[in-house]
Amino acid sequence: MAQMDDVAAIAATRHARKHVVTASTDSVDFLHPVKKGDTICLEAFVTWTHNTSMEVFVKAVTENLILGDRKVCATAFLTMVAIDENNNPTQVPSVYPESKEESFLHKDGLKRAELRKERRRNSKEMAQTFGTSFPWN
């Protein structure tokens, strides 16, 4: 998962040509196991933007180097925010999808962003409910 975050940051930085921070990670879906001796190749690209944030799709592909079998082992969407030299959010360029895969992901970007906002509201409510003390009593 840390590597997925790193690759997403590289894709977002290349898109914005600015420093970025991770704002959120949607659910990481593990689709196939990675077995001992397999390699993993990560690929990421910016699918959608809004003002200062970028949605980045990350795909992890595992390969058995002996057999040549390849499988998508995980996918995720991460939201990265571009920051300026004072660590303040700063504008990012729009996305212009070029492939059918990019267009497929781009068309529902706003819908996923709205779902993230709702999830964030729920997370804030949970944080407020449980506070900073442990155990909760």
Residues in the chain: 137
Would you state the pLDDT for residue 132? 84
State pLDDT tens for residues 56-79: 999 999 999 999 999 999 999 999
pTM of this prediction exceeds 0.85: yes
Measured over the CA atoms of residue 98, residue 58, residue 113 and residue 31, the dihedral's sign is positive
Would you state the pLDDT for residue 51? 95
Token pair for 42:
């990560």
Task: Estimate to the nearest angstrom the gap between the alpha carbon of 67 and the chain centroid.
Answer: 30
**Span 126-136, average pLDDT:** 82
The verdict on domain 2-129 having CATH code 3.90.230.10 is: no
**Span 4-9, average pLDDT:** 97
Band of residue 7 on the pLDDT scale cut at 50, 70, 90: very high
Q: Kindly give, in sequence order, each residue whose CB lies less than 8 Å from that of residue 130, ignoring residues fewer than 6 positions away.
A: 136
Would you state the pLDDT for residue 134? 74
Domain edges within the chain: 2-129
